[in-house]
Amino acid sequence: MTSTTHPSRIHPHTTVRADRDSGTASQRLRAVLLANALTSGVVGAIATLSPGAVDELLGTGHEGWIRLFGGVGFLVFAVAVCTLASGRPSTRARYAPLVRLFDASYVIAVIVTIAAGWYSTTGSWVMGATAALVADFALGQLWFARRSR
């Protein structure tokens, strides 16, 4: 007759540690998503409320586009990302790639628009810095989403 041992009795610390590591990665993914949502929300609010000042800084000459895409668009994105970050860990891991897709699209759009000369010199530096921050968010999301599975 063979004896079977319950899996939790074999290596209880390993099971707890694996759960803890996964939880930490999920919590860090949540933190990266929340930071992404917070910065997007702040930028969106500023661009919605003061599109003229943002346009003056960037040198685009398109106040309406600043308000629509840089303002309202970022606010909608911020709400969606915050909602995702507040959801279940499995949902975060499943939909974080969609946020990364939006982040990567933003970075590519900034590179293209800088190359096309859409901004003043100062505006190009500001947009380049924001693209670098967004790229960092995307990489953080990728890193922690893979570790939270």
**Using one digit for the tens of pLDDT, what is the confidence trace for 5-58?**
544 454 444 443 343 444 687 888 889 899 999 999 999 999 999 999 999 999
pLDDT in tens, 71-99: 899 999 999 999 999 988 888 888 888 99
User: Full-prediction pTM beyond 0.85?
Assistant: no
Q: How far is CA 54 from CA 98, 105, 121, in A?
A: 27, 21, 14
82-113 burial: b if 16+ Cβ within 10 Å, else e: bebbeeebeebbebbeebbebbeebbeebeeb
Structure tokens at 46: 């500023």
